[in-house]
Amino acid sequence: MSQLSNYTYDEINIGQTASYSKEISEQDIQLFAIVSGDNNPVHLDAEFAAGTPFKERIAHGMLSGAVISAAIALELPGPGTIYLGQTMRFRRPVKIGDTLTVELEVTDKRDDKQFVTLDCKVINQNGEVVVTGTAEVIAPPVKLVLDPPHLPTISLQD
Amino acid sequence: MSQLSNYTYDEINIGQTASYSKEISEQDIQLFAIVSGDNNPVHLDAEFAAGTPFKERIAHGMLSGAVISAAIALELPGPGTIYLGQTMRFRRPVKIGDTLTVELEVTDKRDDKQFVTLDCKVINQNGEVVVTGTAEVIAPPVKLVLDPPHLPTISLQD
């Protein structure tokens, strides 16, 4: 796995962009249900979901939030960022197998507190906007280049 | 597991409250890292985290967002809710073993669109506020009482 690195406050410019993509799998939805506790059948039961306005299973809205937060933590500013706040508008449902791409753009910097504001847009593989929002962070004061920790392997059993 | 039920738009009153609690385990943090892709060592590596301002491993900020979204999806309004938007301010770190309680309060209703606004506060087991925010949802038009779907059992292997 590739190393993690960041942009320090001084290396960040207004207009700077970054992106991060993730495919949303059935397992992701199951894991998000377990992590959050939200076991609503619209996310987990295809037969139930067929009778809803969405017609098929959809991902939890906040799973897109999780992917936005990963974009900030991994790409811009990256490791060492302190997350202050996030707004989100959920504009379209996310389905199993969709590939989400988070597009980040720096829109403001505040030198006295090292605050950075980022515009956040999540688009799917069809170019449709699924989430929009704004993040506020404290950018890292020092450069970091890190080897990512080992993550355990998961197995799910019905 | 207990049944899931909701409050329809007409059953919801301004000032109505609900709460939802979840303990944040080490496994939750590992699963959130896998689901989001955010494998920063401040969440996963105790030795690395000891050298950060947090002194120990902290949960991903958006894991608290996941718990807020579960409170809305399970408790108020509950199943059938359509999530429109969420704001969050991350005010204190969440550590492994913390028990988070989401307190929801209805602050506004908009009859023409069935929109409901909820104040969201997440407190830890010491009564400290860790996240504040506001959610906007479309409340369910019809009453639902559901048996929750079966969730798979997880095992993690290093």
Ranges of each domain in chain A: 4-142
Judged by CB atoms closer than 8 Å, whether chains meet at B73 and A89 is answered as no
Q: Quick: pLDDT tens for B139-152.
A: 999 999 999 998 99
Spell out which residues of chain A touch residue B90, defining contact as CB-CB under 8 Å.
83-86
By C-alpha distance, the chain B residue nearest A102 is B36
Q: Do B67 and A157 touch (CB under 8 A)?
A: no
pLDDT of residue A2: 83
B34 phi, psi to nearest 5 deg: -70, -45
Asked whether the beta carbons of residue A31 and residue B34 sit closer than 8 angstroms, the reply is yes
The minimum CA-CA distance between B121 and chain A, rounded to whole Å, is: 14
A86 and B65 within 8 Å at the Cβ level: the answer is: yes
CATH topology of domain B4-142: Thiol Ester Dehydrase; Chain A (3.10.129)
Count CB-CB contacts under 10 A for residue A57.
21
Report CA-CA distances (Å) from A104 to A16, A52, A74, A130, B32.
8, 32, 12, 14, 21
| CA distance, residue A108 to nearest chain B CA (Å) | 18
Q: Using a CB-CB distance cutoff of 8 angstroms, which residues of chain A are in contact with residue B130?
A: none
- What lies within 8 Å, CB to CB, of B157 at 6+ separation is A152, A153, A155
pLDDT in tens, chain A (158 residues): 689 999 999 999 999 999 999 999 999 999 999 999 999 999 999 999 999 999 999 999 999 999 999 999 999 999 999 999 999 999 999 999 999 999 999 999 999 999 999 999 999 999 999 999 999 999 999 999 999 998 999 999 88
The position carrying tokens 């000032």 is: B15
Q: Determine the distance in angstroms separating the CA of B14 from the nearest CA of chain A, rounded to an integer.
A: 22
pLDDT tens readout for residues B93-119:
999 999 999 999 999 999 999 999 999
pTM of the model: 0.97
- Residue pair A81/A73 in contact by the 8 Å Cβ criterion: yes
pLDDT tens-digit series, residues B16-51: 999 999 999 999 999 999 999 999 999 999 999 999
Look at residues B108, B129, B4 and name the one whose alpha carbon lies nearest to residue B64. Answer: B129
pLDDT > 70 fraction of chain B, expressed in percent and rounded: 99
Residue of chain B minimizing CA distance to A60: B69
Q: Is the ipTM of this complex over 0.95?
A: yes
